Amino acid sequence: MAQLIDGKRISKEIKDELKAEVDALKGRGIQICLAVVQVGQDPASCVYVNNKKKACAYIGIESESYELPDEVSEEELLALVDRLNHSEHVNGILVQLPLPAHIDEDKIIRAISPDKDVDGFHPVSVGRLWIGEPGFLSCTPAGIIQLLKRSGISMDGKECVVVGRSNIVGKPMAALLLREHATVTMAHSHTKNLWEITKRADILIVAIGKRQFIDAGYVKEGAVVIDVGMHRDDNNKLCGDIVFDEIFEKASAVTPVPGGVGPMTIAMLMNNCVEAVRK
């Protein structure tokens, strides 16, 4: 039976550390403000945005909301981002994705000042990550590194396999694992004989976005398994990219869904907001 990696507890620990740091900054007259921009009312985005604002309130970070209608033009959104870039009051800018189809997401991400890019999506942040310069880290992979470190799991010299190659999770995950001196393999939807690759992993990170796709047959006995997926099963219960019950019996440690990676993403967003004023 595996150790359950408790993202809820670890994210609370990080948020409490940040709360103390924010209190100390306030004592020196420094306030932090995150601008949260949402276009339209996608139900999942509403939940994420609300959770981010709640975390801000808990830590003592001000959040400024910008709720724009679905029909907002790309020019209008770019104008808002430009205004927030130049605002002395705003330290971090978050534009919740996905954006409506008529807006070019890459163009919006590139318009955000790299100094306020708390999502870590700007090409400057991505470049800094790959060459090992300090900068904003993509929140989900940074959260996974913290989950492992704070659970006493070393990555140094380990065989790590990342399944999924998105710009938000898979690619930055590989860069961060390399920074921790892991040997990293990236697998994805075109990988042949995926199980042969995943069974090599001491640490397996699953971010493929397919409900309960990875079962125990893909996992080496005693591996650590991190599940980035978030889906609803046939009974409308939240589940991930792995078949949890099977893998729980075979792995040495595993993250649950919910309560694993999810809360860590928000904790690391909060860390990036504090980082914006630490710099």
Q: Which residues bind ligand GUN (CB under 6 A)?
A: 94-97, 119, 139, 265
Chain position whose Cβ is nearest to ligand GUN: 97
CA–CA separation, 118 vs 85, rounded Å? 12
Closest contact distance (angstroms) between CB of 211 and ligand GUN is 17
Q: What's the longest Cα–Cα distance across the chain? A: 57
Closest contact distance (angstroms) between CB of 265 and ligand GUN is 6
Among candidate residues 254, 200, 187, the one with its CA nearest the CA of residue 226: 254
Closest contact distance (angstroms) between CB of 82 and ligand GUN is 18
Report the residue number, 34 or 194, with the smaller CB distance to ligand GUN.
Answer: 34
Report the residue number, 120 or 256, with the smaller CB distance to ligand GUN.
Answer: 120
Closest contact distance (angstroms) between CB of 179 and ligand GUN is 20
User: Residue 160: helix, strand or coil by DSSP?
Assistant: strand
What are the catalytic residues?
A: 52, 96, 119
CB 143 within 8 A of CB 267: yes
Closest contact distance (angstroms) between CB of 94 and ligand GUN is 5
Report the residue number, 11 or 265, with the smaller CB distance to ligand GUN.
Answer: 265
CA–CA separation, 200 vs 223, rounded Å? 9
Spatial CB neighbours of 199, under 8 Å, sequence gap ≥ 6: 218, 219, 220
Report the residue number, 139 or 247, with the smaller CB distance to ligand GUN.
Answer: 139
Task: Report how far apart, in Å, the C-alpha atoms of 240 and of each of 76, 214, 255, 262, 265 are.
Answer: 36, 9, 10, 11, 15
CB 225 within 8 A of CB 242: yes
CA–CA separation, 8 vs 11, rounded Å? 5
Report the residue number, 35 or 94, with the smaller CB distance to ligand GUN.
Answer: 94
CA–CA separation, 133 vs 127, rounded Å? 8
CB 93 within 8 A of CB 81: yes
